[in-house]
Chains A and B, each alone.
Chain A
């Protein structure tokens, strides 16, 4: 200890030695030490040390700091510069390899970036609400036929009761999702605009953060006569949000017609909102509309709550579970709350348990992007290790003059990092260029902002890619023994051989899996769109039954039927593809009283089955010529099977307490997407006006037919726009997610194959180059071009064959997993797999052959003349 106190402070001395110019360091160090010694004798170690530190600090000036340039550069700096130089030289020297790496890595990175942006966007949905952490949606599990069906529809009474009776729930609001009613007409004088609307509880704006431009969040919808409209609606109706306030608007839906006063204008909903509406009305209006329909047994609202900070969801759900059963004894529902913002990605439930949803696609694409990046990295690894023989001399010389292994690892790593960096720049350019296209495809409005988050993620991607791509070559190349390589005794170890082959096999396995996936997804979507649904969905148009038409429905339908080009017309209260109402109120002889069965309730007008072209297996459809048709029912096959009724025609079942006669059995048909199995369902005759008019038109001259229908429509509703939809288009909308997946997976598969082939191309050209002399000698001895191509591609063919062999069972397993999500699927035929295998073999062989052909065609004189 005492000895240490005799010497100048080590840290400051080291610091001095580090920064001081080399040509001054010795004498000044001596001076420093001498001065310290003199002072130590005079004033002791402590003060001397302090003065020593001051001296060192005062020496830290520009004229004394060493030059980091020229001969005196720091070692790391010099190495870095050297590595950069060597990297760029090697890029210039081996342009093909560089281009292959650049194309591969940058497309791979661009894919990864796109997927990253998409995933980021998916996760952002519904997260913008200020109360996001506390905002829950209340949902119900229905106990039906021994299983749990989960849904978002809740009794309209639930919100208020929850807020009153459960202390943890700070606030609750009910609403009706806008898709229940479609677009509703709003009329101002002679101007009618159709817009999406919701009926919501008064506290809606307190729970959801949709900023109000005018109006007070707590008061906007307190009055039953008020309406809140969006900024753009205000602009198109009243020119400006300011002018809109206090104005009156006429609203109509079905036979309802009322005047509301604008009490608030809210900013247009952000794109990340799943709530989707242009105007809001008070829930009281809805209550009046449904009359006595707001009951514990009717599920006609969505319910949202905020829970107090720190509420445990599991405990809350325990409390909630029996809430409705406590209100209505015969209830079969279990109440639970789910975080509102989780609903978008995790919407699927299976027998009461969360079972995925959109999140599966998010995960799928994340996995694909990682795989694509991996494949691009593998190209880099393969080409670098294959190039090893060219680099052996360099490594040997460097090692011989004293380069350490770590210095070489750093050199090869920096090469891969520089490569990745260049690729990221190219990839960013690609993303910027293709982003509009991508948005079109995915239906998003993603923008590329170089914000901190993105830069951080880019840095992570850079590190990951650079490291993965560079690790194997760096470790492998730096291992060479200088004596051996300089003597030219490099032998490829068995391990290296396997690693390179393994990587190619891995690449092609992934490619084949993706090819199979693309084919199966495509086939399944074709199947879904072309499956016989039990009715003819083509040439059927739907439009809302609104305004005066609703009042004079029979008259209108009769007029329309006589219009040329229109084959048949009917109406229904069902949305057809978006689902309709359900009831458990059917009972029949021999029913098991413990099991509740949910029946679809299709209230239809006359001629509905005929209009849609549905088949009756037995019995007849509703007929205008007979009386008391309102007491009759038609079931679908599934319902009859489920009820176990044989010979059903003329038998009676009980619906909501009344006996009804079965007059017909309809062949099963699919209204809902093929993800769902067919559910039991009955048709009954509509007593009031329909929600939707359904018309079948002739396939010829449809344009004229539309004009004729429109003119009839306008006779009744002069101020309304005639908007109609095609049933088949509506049906296909259910597969929007699958369609995006199909298109994206096609692109991704293409890119994967491209990148894999690039790698193969590089390897093949390299092999051909290495066996340049061998080919020359073989040709000189009389080998044909064909035999040389065969020789060179034999290895690759084997690798691809192995890849196909591994990929087939793997892809079979994976696509089966995906198909499980559909209730009706294609059969996985063997030829999908064979086709995928053969096509990838063919593509690979073509790639290799192109390259080897070039080598085989060479005149042996060229390869043998030197030496």
Chain B
């Protein structure tokens, strides 16, 4: 399958979905990201990325049960697929490889 690139925002979304493990649906993902990363996320941008990742096969989704809270609308729960997991691992390894290649003196306290 060659090299797989995922964007920064895509990576964060996949990681958040993984964190929420089984409880990942639209609003929950946003809340989690806002809480952990302190960054504002709109439904529009999130949903676009979710659909895209699902299309790529890194995420899968299924409808949950309807709740009263949401005007009777069902939630769509996302999960990271095995391929998605692999892509996350690869990304992490690439990052780590890059980190490890940095000469130790220059890393210092700069980050």
Contact = CB atoms under 8 A, between A and B. Distances in A.
A33 interface: yes
Interface stretch (A58-66, A298-306, A469-477, A515-523): A58-66
Contact of A27 (B26, B45, B52): B26
Interface in A1-46: 24, 26-35, 37-38
Contact of B47 (A26, A28, A33, A38): A28
A26 B74 contact: yes
Given A27-B63, A28-B26, A61-B48, A34 B70 contact: yes
Given A30-B75, A58-B42, A61-B48, 4 more contacts: A26-B73, A27-B74, A29-B73, A63-B51
A618 interface: no
A63 B43 CA distance: 13
A695 B30 CA distance: 108
A27 B44 contact: no
A63 B30 CA distance: 19
- Interface of B, secondary structure class, is helix
A750 B98 CA distance: 91
Nearest to B72: A30
A30 B70 contact: yes
A59 B51 CA distance: 13
A704 to B, nearest CB: 98
Nearest to B42: A58
Contact of B44 (A26, A29, A34, A64): A64
Interface residues of B, number: 20
A730 interface: no
B56 to A, nearest CB: 13
Given A32-B43, A33-B71, A55-B42, A64 B30 contact: no
B58 interface: no
A31 B74 contact: no
Given A31-B26, A34-B69, A35-B27, A24 B51 contact: yes
B44 A59 contact: yes
Contacts of A35: 27, 30, 43
Interface of B: 25-27, 30, 42-45, 47-48, 51-52, 63, 69-71, 73-76
A13 to B, nearest CB: 9
Contact of A30 (B44, B51, B71): B71
A29 B71 contact: yes
A54 interface: yes
B27 A34 contact: yes
Given A27-B76, A30-B71, A58 B44 contact: yes
Q: Size class of A's contact patch?
A: 20 to 34
A599 to B, nearest CB: 95
A27 B75 contact: yes
Contact of B73 (A27, A38, A55, A64): A27
A24 B51 CA distance: 9
A59 B47 contact: yes
Given A58-B45, A59-B47, A64-B44, A30 B73 contact: yes
A602 to B, nearest CB: 95
15 contacts: A26-B74, A27-B75, A28-B43, A30-B74, A31-B25, A34-B69, A35-B27, A54-B42, A55-B43, A57-B44, A58-B42, A59-B42, A59-B47, A63-B48, A63-B52
B10 to A, nearest CB: 14
Interface in A37-87: 37-38, 54-55, 57-61, 63-64
B47 A64 contact: yes
A60 B70 CA distance: 21
Contacts of A31: 25-27, 43, 47, 70, 75
Nearest to A38: B27
A5 to B, nearest CB: 16
B62 to A, nearest CB: 10
Contacts of B76: 26-27
Contacts of B52: 63
A33 B74 CA distance: 11
A26 B26 CA distance: 12
Nearest to A29: B73
Contacts of B25: 27, 31
A58 B43 contact: yes
A35 B69 CA distance: 10
A60 B44 CA distance: 8
Contacts of B71: 29-30, 33
List the 9 closest A-B pairs by CB distance, nearest first.
A30-B73, A58-B44, A31-B26, A27-B76, A30-B70, A59-B44, A58-B42, A33-B71, A34-B70
B103 to A, nearest CB: 43
Interface in A763-815: none
A32 B44 CA distance: 10
B25 to A, nearest CB: 7
Contacts of B26: 27-28, 30-31, 34
A63 B44 CA distance: 10
Contacts of B70: 30-31, 33-34, 37
Specify which of A24, A29, A31, A58 lies most central, judged by the most chain B CB atoms within 10 Å of its CB. Answer: A31
A2 to B, nearest CB: 18
A61 B30 CA distance: 19
B43 A59 contact: yes
A666 to B, nearest CB: 100
Contacts of A24: 47, 51
A55 B25 CA distance: 16
Contacts of A29: 71, 73
A57 to B, nearest CB: 8
A57 B44 CA distance: 8
A37 B69 contact: yes
A782 B84 CA distance: 86
A31 B28 CA distance: 9
A37 B27 CA distance: 11
Specify which of B42, B45, B52 lies most central, judged by the most chain A CB atoms within 10 Å of its CB. Answer: B42
Specify which of B45, B48, B63, B71 lies most central, judged by the most chain A CB atoms within 10 Å of its CB. Answer: B71
Contacts of B45: 58
Specify which of B43, B45, B76 lies most central, judged by the most chain A CB atoms within 10 Å of its CB. Answer: B43
B12 to A, nearest CB: 18
A29 B63 CA distance: 13
A61 B44 contact: yes
Contacts of A55: 42-44
Nearest to B48: A63
Nearest to A37: B69
Contact of B48 (A27, A30, A54, A64): A64
A31 B70 CA distance: 7
A100 B45 CA distance: 58
Nearest to B47: A28
Contacts of B74: 26-27, 30
B48 A33 contact: no
Contacts of A57: 44
A57 B51 CA distance: 18
Contacts of A26: 63, 73-74, 76
Nearest to A35: B27
A83 B37 CA distance: 54
Nearest to A33: B71
Contacts of A27: 25-26, 63, 73-76
A19 to B, nearest CB: 12
